[in-house]
């Protein structure tokens, strides 16, 4: 069997393993929530969240989703050549060294919240061979989406496989909550194109300032996204083709990682706009993948709110973050674990001898 055939089969195999959240476990969790020692509904969104986790894991009450790990998928983007980001491409590799040394914002948040950090090179343009990270480089950055297709079909499928297989191995290692992270200079441009594809929103609505660009650069970046949408014209029913057209390798790996969490019935906390774009790809591949997604936060990048609406997810935190790396997901993790711990460990009125 050719390698190409094998990679094609893999994505189909992944999708076959995904089941919608378990309705019986969700009903049991709703009933248990109603019996706990608090006024009904008083834990607000946390109650719904705990019910969703019961549905994901198929158990009531579910175990607290721990330990947790944030995986930072890193890759570069050919569209960087169009001056859509103020930062040099080499910053992607430099930040990988920073993650490996524990010096980035995501490392600080992760240390605070008891979350482990994994870093994966799925397509960084600058060599990072010497770093103590997962080396799974599919190609050294995408091609320029404004000139040609960013990736070949084989490259897309290989990157999806990196994410799926990593999620599987993390679950095998005992992790019970997977968090998304990303690093890739210019990746808010590819994110905007993906989000426009799956939501039908215009380039003007979903394109944002990324790391911080001025008005003139924003207008130029928006025009690049708009022209790319016309050039490639991928319908929302063709998620793998959308990854081929726009990239990035980290988006493809993140989509695979989300599918991997879903196939293993483990919650996945999404970070910001890059994760939102990848989750739209996962949703288009298998709608039930979203049953396993928790929106960690809402990024200040405008496309993110648009993506969350199509995903049907309510963000847990809204603090004007616009960093990526997984920071918003890590920040939200204790909220998710509190929600599940309350469902699992609170006394019922009957246990406590309180008449309700």
Ligand X SMILES: O=C(O)c1cccnc1
Residue 322 interacts with ligand X (CB under 6 A)?
A: yes
Of 180 and 264, nearer to ligand X (C-beta) is 180
Rg (alpha carbons) of the chain, rounded to whole number: 20
Q: Which residue has the tokens 């609406």?
A: 309
Contact yes or no for 25/176 (Cβ under 8 A): no
Nearest to 203 by CA among 214, 188, 216: 188
Residue 183 interacts with ligand RBZ (CB under 6 A)?
A: yes
Which residues in 298-337 contact ligand RBZ (CB under 6 A)?
323-325
Please choose which of ligand RBZ, ligand X, none residue 271 contacts, taking the beta carbon within 5 to 8 angstroms, the exact cut-off set by kind: ligand X
Nearest to 326 by CA among 71, 108, 50, 20: 71
- DSSP class of residue 38 equals S
Contact yes or no for 95/60 (Cβ under 8 A): no
Distance of closest approach, residue 77 Cβ to ligand RBZ, in angstroms: 8
Binding mask 212-251 for ligand X (x = CB under 6 A): ----------------------------------------
Residue 211 interacts with ligand X (CB under 6 A)?
A: yes
Please choose which of ligand RBZ, ligand X, none residue 180 contacts, taking the beta carbon within 5 to 8 angstroms, the exact cut-off set by kind: none
Residue 188 interacts with ligand X (CB under 6 A)?
A: yes
Q: Is the peptide bond before 87 cis (omega within 30 degrees of 0)?
A: no
Pairing of strands 115-123, 177-183: unpaired
Applying CB under 6 A, which of residues 266, 271, 331, 342 lies at the interface with ligand X?
271
**90 noted as active-site residue:** no
What is the rounded distance in angstroms from the CA atom of residue 227 to the CA atom of residue 225?
6
Q: What three-state secondary structure class fits 245?
A: helix
Please choose which of ligand X, ligand RBZ, none residue 304 contacts, taking the beta carbon within 5 to 8 angstroms, the exact cut-off set by kind: ligand X
Chain residues that interact with ligand RBZ, rule: CB under 6 A: 85, 87, 91, 95, 182-189, 210-211, 323-325
Catalytic residues: 325
């Amino acid at each position: 069997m050719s390698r190409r055939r094998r990679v094609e089969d893999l994505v189909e195999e992944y999708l076959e393993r995904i089941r919608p959240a378990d309705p019986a476990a969700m009903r049991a969790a709703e009933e248990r929530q109603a019996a706990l020692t608090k006024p009904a509904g008083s834990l607000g969104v946390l109650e719904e969240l705990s019910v969703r986790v019961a549905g994901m894991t198929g158990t009531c009450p579910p175990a607290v989703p721990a330990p947790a790990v944030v995986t930072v998928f890193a890759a570069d983007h050919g569209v960087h050549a169009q001056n859509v980001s103020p930062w040099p491409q080499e910053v992607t590799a430099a930040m990988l060294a920073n993650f490996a040394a524990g010096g980035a914002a995501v490392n600080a948040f992760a240390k605070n919240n008891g979350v482990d950090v994994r870093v994966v090179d799925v397509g960084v343009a600058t060599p990072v061979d010497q770093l103590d990270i997962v080396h799974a480089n599919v190609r050294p950055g995408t091609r320029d989406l404004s000139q040609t297709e960013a990736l070949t079909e084989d490259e897309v499928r290989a990157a999806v496989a990196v994410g799926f297989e990593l999620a599987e191995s993390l679950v095998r290692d005992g992790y019970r909550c997977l968090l998304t992270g990303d690093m890739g200079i210019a990746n808010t441009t590819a994110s905007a194109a993906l989000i426009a594809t799956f939501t039908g929103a215009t380039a003007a609505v979903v394109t944002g300032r990324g790391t911080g660009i001025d008005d003139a650069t924003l207008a130029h970046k928006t025009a690049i996204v708009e022209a790319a949408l016309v050039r490639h014209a991928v319908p929302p029913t063709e998620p793998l083709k959308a990854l081929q057209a726009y990239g990035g390798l980290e988006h493809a790996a993140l989509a695979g990682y989300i599918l991997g969490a879903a196939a293993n019935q483990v919650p996945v906390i999404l970070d910001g706009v890059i994760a939102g774009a990848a989750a739209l790809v996962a949703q288009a591949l298998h709608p039930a993948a979203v049953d396993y997604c928790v929106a960690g936060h809402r990024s200040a990048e405008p496309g993110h709110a648009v993506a969350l609406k199509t995903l049907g997810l309510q963000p847990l935190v809204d603090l004007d973050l616009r960093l990526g790396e997984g920071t918003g997901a890590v920040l939200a993790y204790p909220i998710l674990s509190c929600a599940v711990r309350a469902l699992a460990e609170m006394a019922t009125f009957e246990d406590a001898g309180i008449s309700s």
